[in-house]
Structure 1
Amino acid sequence: MPTLFTTPLTPGLVAHIALEAVNLQRGNTWVFESLSLQFAEHRIGLIGDNGAGKSSLFRLICGLDQPQSGHVYLPPAASEDAAPWVGMMFQNSDEQIIFPTVEEELALSLRHLRLSRAEAQTHVRTWLATRGLADWAPRAIGSLSQGQRQHVCWLALLIGAHHTLLLDEPFASLDLPGQALLRQEMAAAPQQIIVSTHVLDHVRHFERVIWLDRGHVRADGPGAQVCAQYEADVATRAAHAINKT
């Protein structure tokens, strides 16, 4: 039976997420076959074509999908009231945000603390004020731009105090100032961050990048090296496509 454990894969990897021999099938399609990965580095990028399995990998780590076989390992919680180890930002913020105001949405990330509604509201407002965003607390989500909604999703991850943040195409709906701000905040965040993106410049400097190709790991190594390999492969495929026309 597929299982999600909160114990480490091997001794000494207490703070690592790992997948062991994971098989994931959707309909008649195998998304992953015997996929094994460990995620130890502070900054990890995921790259690859559409349909390569990047979002599916995130959903497995979060427990939103369950494999047909194999295991997903998460580190054990430090206490009963600790935040979930993993937090995820979806590609589309409208699929993630469920409450009508910013402060209510951020308060959802504090549910593990078992605060009263008033306590959670105070915590959120104080936290936003420390970031210079006190006026955001009562704002209606419907009044925000798509980029601002994406920023709310990012704030929800930060206030939730997760150990690992999964960001699925986090720059897609951001303008250049928004991208610059997110990059700065990501660089300053103490959490482990795993980023799925088609914009290679956002992960080229990462210590590790994984190139997924139809559910398999095509390359895994330093960001600059793996991004260059992927770019070369894309250029080769594009040239072949042109030659066929």
Structure 2
Amino acid sequence: MSNTAPSSQTPEPHVARVNDSGVVLDNVRLVRGRTQVFDGLTLHLHEPRIGLIGDNGAGKSSLFRLICGLEQAQGGRVQLGSPSSVGMMFQNPDEQIIFPTVEEELGLSLQASGLTRQAARAHAREWLKARGLGAWAERAIGSLSQGQRQHVCWLALLIASHDLLLLDEPFSSLDLPGQARLDHEIAKAPQQVIVSTHVLRHIRHFERVIWLDLGAVRCDGPGHEVCAAYEADVAARSLNAA
């Protein structure tokens, strides 16, 4: 890492903590290879529930990766409110799960708080039991369905007590009962939750939904309005392509 100070023309992007709640993206620029993902993206994400929609490649996952620090912008600022512990659920649970059993995976989320591995696993067992999932504790991850593994990722976020949860296509692997259960748990979660999804019925009632289009905000407002606008645009494009 260079110790040379950045020039005034290219301020060093960073993730900083601010005193207000939520996340602030200020004039963010992100380039990946030859692709410009964001060019001056500005957003203040402070509502308890926010939906994120748009076509594949619109920048939804990239936005999440910026917020949780997996990517760094080439310009602008990403500011996290205080407190600012962020947890992210990936689209593919197999890219997220590390340990061979459910209790070990959930225990990993607790070890960051200072618990020993043994204490973390014991706490995870009791926590699962309290949720009616005691039988899951010793189950091998490989024995779970795709939807069940997705649910393990959600449980790992909950047990870690993050302040902000980023859910990237959380409904894609779930059957209807699983979707209903996750809907209910999102509704009652005390954390701020931002959901990126193509299944619009799950976010239509949200106070705020953001429609991203090629890295820019196409529409931003109440869920029912933004979802309807996006659906109308998709229908028009499909008609024109026919």
Residue identity in the other structure for 2:86: V
1:7 deviation in Å? 2.4
Once superposed, what is the RMSD of the aligned Cα atoms? 1.0
User: Quick check: 1:67 aligned with 2:63?
Assistant: no
Residue identity in the other structure for 2:113: L
Q: Deviations over 1:171-214 (max 9, x none)?
A: 00011111111111111111111000011111100000000000
User: Quick check: 1:46 aligned with 2:46?
Assistant: no
Structure 1 residue corresponding to 2:82, chosen from 70, 76, 79: 76
Structure 1 runs (4+) deviating above 4 angstroms are: none
1:116 deviation in Å? 1.2
User: Equivalents in 1 of 2:81, 2:56: separation in Å?
Assistant: 30
Secondary structure at the aligned position of 1:88 is classed as strand
Q: Deviations over 1:30-60 (max 9, x none)?
A: 1000101011111100000000000000000
- Give the alignment of 1:82-93 within 5 angstroms: 85-93=85-93
> Which residue number in structure 2 is paired with residue 2 of structure 1?
13
> Which residue number in structure 1 is paired with residue 153 of structure 2?
153
Residue identity in the other structure for 1:116: T
Residue identity in the other structure for 1:62: C
Identical-pair percentage: 67
User: Quick check: 1:57 aligned with 2:68?
Assistant: no
Q: Which runs of 5 or more residues in structure 2 are unaligned?
A: 1-11
> Which residue number in structure 2 is paired with residue 32 of structure 1?
38
User: Equivalents in 1 of 2:42, 2:200: separation in Å?
Assistant: 24
Q: Which runs of 5 or more residues in structure 1 are unaligned?
A: 9-13, 78-83
1:161 deviation in Å? 0.1
> Which residue number in structure 2 is paired with residue 216 of structure 1?
216
User: Quick check: 1:17 aligned with 2:12?
Assistant: no
Q: Deviations over 1:54-94 (max 9, x none)?
A: 000000000001001111111234xxxxxx61100000000
CA contact (8 A) 1:21 1:69 kept: yes
CA contact (8 A) 1:99 1:105 kept: yes
1:231 deviation in Å? 0.7
Q: Deviations over 1:120-160 (max 9, x none)?
A: 11111111111011111111100101010000000001001
User: Equivalents in 1 of 2:82, 2:226: separation in Å?
Assistant: 31
Aligned positions, number: 231
Secondary structure at the aligned position of 2:55 is classed as coil
- Give the alignment of 1:165-244 within 5 angstroms: 165-242=165-242
